[in-house]
Structure 1
Amino acid sequence: MAQDRISQIVSDNDVVLFMKGTPLFPQCGFSSRAVAILDHLGVEYASVDVLQDQEIRQGIKAFSDWPTIPQLYVKGEFVGGSDIMMEMYEAGELQQLMQEQGVKGAA
């Protein structure tokens, strides 16, 4: 079941980005922005290309109760989409969250 797979992915990775495409080839502007923010922070993260898996693509929206992709999870907690990531990044809150959670590479 998609929910179980999503739960496993989220719990197995400190930081995971459910996105359209891959970090090297994002398939939408929002995913591209999310990748740029994470790359700028220098954190290690896993990514899941929802375009490759229709079950995950629909399931992630129900899992987080959030209608759009990308979606960022840190230490099992849903953080938000690219707009929330950008606001948090600009305010210094995303960097702080990564440091508080002990995410690798977050300096």
Structure 2
Amino acid sequence: MSDVQARITALLNEHPVVLFMKGTALFPQCGFSSRAIAILEHVGVEPFTVDVLQDPEIRSGIKEYSDWPTVPQLYIKGEFVGGSDIMMEMYEAGELQALVADAGLA
């Protein structure tokens, strides 16, 4: 396992909800990251956020880690959930709220 992969694993083990995003929760740097934060606010979850713009190794490493080509990326209890489009679909269907509740985070 590479150093960056180990760093990502450590973050996921340390925090129940992790959002790898562009920017911060208070100042998202893209519309998709902004939408991801808004969705999580609606379900009552405050994620630990990782600004991939500040760490190029994480920015490329997270894409390999999840085998998902874009950011933002949401993880709940160490499991990859998806990007903002998947988050929105899950939210609209009530699935994200159920996932959060099942994880004991609601």
What TM-score bracket applies, with the shorter chain setting the length?
over 0.9
Alignment-mate amino acid for residue 76 of structure 2: V
CA apart distance, 1:50: 0.2
Query: Is 1:76 aligned to 2:78, yes or no?
Result: yes
Distance in 2 separating the partners of 1:7 and 1:64: 11
TM-score (norm 1): 0.95
Aligned residues: 104
Give the unaligned 5+ runs of structure 1: none
Aligned to 1:44: 46
Identity %: 71
The DSSP-based 3-state class of the residue aligned with 1:21 is coil
Determine the C-alpha separation between the residues in 2 that align with 1:71 and 1:92: 19
Q: CA deviation at 1:41?
A: 1.0
Q: Which amino acid aligns with 1:7?
A: T
Aligned partners of 1:21, 1:64: CA distance in 2, in Å? 20
Shift of 1:40: 1.1
The runs of 5 or more residues in structure 2 that have no matched partner are none
* 1:55-66 equivalent positions in 2, closer than 5 A: 55-66=57-68
Q: Give the corresponding residue for 2:23.
A: 21
Distance apart, 1:44 and its partner CA:
2.7
**Counterpart residue type for residue 72 of structure 1:** L
Query: Residue in 2 aligned with 1:12?
Result: 14
Could you list the structure 1 runs, at least 4 aligned residues long, displaced by more than 4 angstroms after superposition.
none
